[in-house]
Chain A
């Protein structure tokens, strides 16, 4: 369980995350949705200690992410962000091997090689393993980074807008992969999504944020409704049930 307690971040006068209290589960897929500037990514960055908080605390299974040694946190929680691409010349396999750093500190053990091989297989990357990552397509590269996080083998996996720049084939492929991770490996996947329908179809729980605060929180049936989505985004939604999924239309 990740416990977020009164977490706050402000830039000058603008409060981006405002006293957020949340408990993230230790399994399943949890999506964070909300308009731009709602504070979703900032919240995720603080939970993963990449960004310092102005007030409040975050603990992962009782370990304070800001105070505990970084190594200890790195064995419990990993994050994948849409940050600048790596300039280093590095192959997919080498990238995935870096995921073992919290466990091995640069000296790969037999366990590490097994974990790397498994992560590559799981993400369908065996054929690409020796390719430099700068030669891959966006979807392949995203899978390589997911494999790295997988090799890190943490219970909690946070992803900040992992579907950015992916076409629908790769976006759906990635969501299926994340769902499998939660179901087969019992991991807790927490991700920021812009597409409410991916959130609706793949999540166990959806947390909606607006202006730095959590405004709706619950299973898709509770959050993917005309009223709740309208409240979060300030526009008209009409939610339909298609083959058992709740799909929101918002194009007109």
Chain B
């Protein structure tokens, strides 16, 4: 064995601080870390994020109201609720998906989940016909879409992910092809559709940050809550899954069952966010990776909360700045895609070099 005592002395007296790697400091007070115990660093991160969140909420609600409180407040509160729901749905589905695919670059959007939701919604109108759709409650329609989406997505992506042995680049390729395929099918149906049906579809399908579909707020919020509860119940399994498929199986995780559950939840959350504001490709990638850098841990309880906070802050602050500074010249979705897209390319290049 190597001369261990000497090494210990070096660490304790810090005679050679330069040789001590950055993370080698004892971050934890002891071995007790069940529940939600945090390192000092993570505590600082959460306090900062909470302050930023409060600041961006106040900013969003009060900026430029000019005394028209009775007009501004209800409208803005509704917007905030929608942004919070979307933010949490995107961040949670992305963090879960990262663990599921054992990488930090793919997101449900990049793999074509959003496109699949739009396809399912279009196909439903296409098959049933707008006359029938018009008689159906939008909430029932949304429920139907979501249920179909969860079935399709789980079946398709379970097949695509296979037994978890495909490499990152294969998955990206398959995801891009799948996304394009779903979008092409959707466009094909648009073209062959009756104009009235197309019109009715446009009003339900093309929500954006500037035209949030508020009829779905409460059902969306409820589904989000259900999804988040399931995810937090699965946190210990997510942590184990983070060690890789083989180690997870060795440790007695029922891999197939867990993956199916997680895919179902991801599909549910993507349905919620896409129904409310439409597809947003790169938000999840951005907020999840920012959260990982801030928390520096493998623990999902910590990462899920941090990613959720970052996500809400980004959306609320971004929308406030967009409305008041940029005067609606642009959409939050396109800004997120520019920033997130650049970050995505950066991550890919970094991955290719290592």
| CB of B268 to closest CB in A, whole Å | 23
| Size category, B interface | 35 or more
Q: Knowing A89-B296, A127-B4, say if A101 contacts B251 (CB, 8 Å).
A: yes
Among residues of A, the one whose C-beta sits closest to the C-beta of B24 is: A131
Assess A116 versus B31: contact at CB under 8 Å? Given A83-B244, A98-B243. Answer: yes
Interface stretch of the complex, out of A33-41, A66-74, A218-226: A66-74
B197 at the A interface (CB under 8 A)? no
Give Cα distance in the complex from A91 to B8, angstroms: 17
Min CB distance B36 to A, Å, is: 13
Asked whether A50 lies within 8 Å of B249 as measured between CB atoms, the reply is yes
Interface string of A82-113 (1 = CB under 8 A from B): 01101111110111011101100111100001
- Asked whether A173 lies within 8 Å of B1 as measured between CB atoms, the reply is yes
Contact flag A130-B27 (CB < 8 Å), given A70-B249, A74-B252, A81-B246? yes
Instruction: Evaluate contact between B24 and A130: CB separation under 8 angstroms.
Output: yes
Question: What chain B residues lie within 8 Å of A84 (beta carbons)?
Answer: 244
Q: Are A101 and B249 in contact (CB under 8 A)?
A: no
Q: What mask results when residues 47 to 79 of chain A are scored 1 for a CB within 8 Å of chain B, else 0?
A: 011100000000000000000011111110011
B236 touches A105 (CB 8 A): yes
Residues of B within 8 A of A81 (CB): 246
Name the B residues within 8 Å of A113 (CB-CB).
Answer: 31
Supposing A124-B4, A127-B8, A135-B23 touch, asked if A99 and B243 sit within 8 A by C-beta, the answer is: no
Residue of A nearest to B295 (CB): A89
Q: B329 at interface (Cβ–Cβ under 8 A)? A: no
| CB atoms of B254 and A69 under 8 A apart | yes
Q: Mark A124-157, 1 if CB is under 8 A from B, else 0.
A: 1001001110010000000000000000100000
Query: How far apart are the CA atoms of A132 and B236 in the complex, in Å?
Result: 20
Q: How far is the CA of A86 from the CA of B241 in the complex (A)?
A: 11
Given known A-B contacts A88-B298, A113-B31, A135-B21, A98 and B251 have beta carbons under 8 A apart:
yes
A91–B244 CA distance with the chains assembled, in angstroms: 16
Chain B, 247-274, CB within 8 A of any chain A CB: 247, 249-255
Whether a CB of chain A sits under 8 angstroms from the CB of B297 is yes
User: B236 and A106: CB pair below 8 A?
Assistant: yes
Bound-state Cα–Cα, A50 to B244, Å: 12
The CA-CA distance from A70 to B256 in the complex, in Å, is 11
User: Is B323 in the interface zone, CB < 8 Å from A?
Assistant: no
Verify if B240 is at the interface (C-beta below 8 Å from A): yes
Given contacts A113-B31, A131-B23, contact A83 B246 (CB under 8 A): yes
Given that A50-B249, A89-B297, A131-B23 are known contacts, is A98 also in contact with B240, CB under 8 Å in the complex? Answer: yes
Specify which of A91, A95, A107, A127 lies most central, judged by the most chain B CB atoms within 10 Å of its CB: A91
Interface flags for B3-32 (1: CB within 8 Å of A; 0: not) read 010011001000000000101101110010
Number of A-B contacts (CB under 8 A): 98
Are A50 and B23 touching (Cβ within 8 A)? no
Which residues of the partner chain A approach B21 to less than 8 Å between Cβ atoms? 131-132, 135
Partner of A101, one of B23, B28, B252: B252
Q: Which residue in chain B gives the minimum CB-CB distance to A81?
A: B246
Q: Which residue from B8, B34, B243 sits with its C-beta under 8 Å from A107? A: B34
Q: Which residue of B lies closest to A79 (CB)?
A: B250
Q: A106-B235, A107-B34, A124-B4 are in contact. Are A152 and B251 (CB under 8 A)?
A: yes
A150 vs chain B, min Cβ distance (A): 13
Q: Give Cα distance in the complex from A74 to B103, angstroms.
A: 25
With beta carbons under 8 angstroms apart, the residue of A50, A93, A102 that contacts B252 is: A102
Residue of A nearest to B254 (CB): A70
Contacts A50-B249, A87-B102, A93-B31 given; does A101 touch B254 at CB 8 Å: no
Complex: chain A residue closest to B98, CB-CB: A87
Cα–Cα, bound, A127→B33 (Å):
19
**Binary contact track B26-68/A, C-beta < 8 Å → 1, others 0:** 1110010110000000000000000000000000000000000
Interface centre among B103, B249, B254 (most CB of A within 10 A): B249
User: Which A-chain residue is minimally distant from B249 (CB atoms)?
Assistant: A50
Q: Which residues from B are CB-within-8-Å of A83? A: 244, 246-247
- A85's closest neighbor in chain B, by CB? B244
> Which of B24, B246, B253: most chain A CB closer than 10 A?
B246
Bound form: Cα–Cα A107–B28 in Å: 17
Cα A106 to Cα B26 in complex, Å, equals 22
Closest to B296 in A: A89
Contacts of B236 in A (CB 8 A): 101, 105-107
Known: A116-B31, A132-B23. A70 touches B252 (CB 8 A): yes
- CB contacts under 8 Å to A, within B204-263, are 235-237, 239-240, 242-244, 246-247, 249-255
Chain B contacts for A97, CB-based, 8 A? 31
**Contact at B24–A78, with CB atoms within 8 Å?**
no
Chain B residues closer than 8 Å to A94, beta-carbon distance? 33, 298
Chain B proximity of A134: nearest CB distance (Å): 9
B interface residues, Cβ below 8 angstroms from A: 1, 4, 7-8, 11, 21, 23-24, 26-28, 31, 33-34, 102-104, 235-237, 239-240, 242-244, 246-247, 249-255, 296-298
Closest 10 CB pairs of A and B: A74-B252, A106-B236, A88-B298, A71-B252, A102-B252, A101-B251, A90-B298, A130-B26, A132-B23, A88-B242
21 contacts between A and B (CB under 8 A): A50-B246, A50-B250, A70-B249, A73-B252, A74-B251, A81-B246, A83-B246, A86-B242, A86-B247, A88-B242, A89-B23, A89-B297, A94-B33, A98-B251, A101-B236, A107-B34, A124-B1, A135-B21, A135-B23, A135-B24, A152-B251
